[in-house]
Amino acid sequence: MAGASEPLAVWLYGEHVATLERRRGRLRLTHSDAAQRRFGLNVPLVSMSMPVSARPYGHELASAFFEGLLPEGEVRRAVAYDLGLPESDVFGLLGELGRDCAGALVVQPVSAGNPVAAPLAEAEPVDGEEVARRMARLRVAPLGIDDRVRLSLAGVQGKLLLVRRPDGGWALPTGGVPSTHILKPATALPQVVENEAFCLRAAGHAGLAAAEVEIASVGGRPVLVVTRFDRARPDSGEVVRLHQEDACQALGIAPARKYEEHDGPSLVAMASTLRRWRAPEEELDRLLEAVTFSVAVGNADLHGKNVTFLHDGESEIRLAPLYDVMCTRAYPDVSAVAGMFVNGVTGLDDIGPGDLVAEAEAWGLPARRAAGVVDRLLERLPGALEAAASETGEVPEALVGLVSERVARARAASARTSGAVAPAFVPSVDAPAVQEAAEVRVDSAEAGEPRVWVTPYRRADGTPVAGHWRARRALDSDAP
Separation between Cα atoms, residue 244 and residue 65, nearest integer Å: 12
Encode burial over 390-407: b for 16+ CB neighbours within 10 A, e otherwise.
eebeebbebbbbbbbbbb
Which is catalytic among the residues 100, 301, 324, 355? 301
Secondary structure (H, E, C), 243-306: CEEEHHHHHCCCHHHCCHHHCCCCHHHHHHHHHHCCCCCHHHHHHHHHHHHHHHHCCCCCCCCC
3-state secondary structure of 453: strand
Separation between Cα atoms, residue 285 and residue 373, nearest integer Å: 7
3-state secondary structure of 66: helix
Size (the chain), residues: 480
- The one-letter code for the residue type at 256 is A
Separation between Cα atoms, residue 452 and residue 470, nearest integer Å: 6
- The one-letter code for the residue type at 164 is R
The half-sphere exposure of 81 on its side-chain side, counting CA atoms within 13 A, is 10
Q: Is 79 exposed, middle or buried (0-12, 13-18, 19+ CB in 10 A)?
A: buried
DSSP assignment of 118-151: PPGGGSEEE-HHHHHHHHHTTTTSTBT-SSS---
Instruction: Tell me whether residue 301 is one of the annotated catalytic residues.
Output: yes
**20, 100, 337 from 90: Cα distances, Å:** 11, 15, 30
3-state secondary structure of 117: coil
Q: Which residues are catalytic?
A: 301
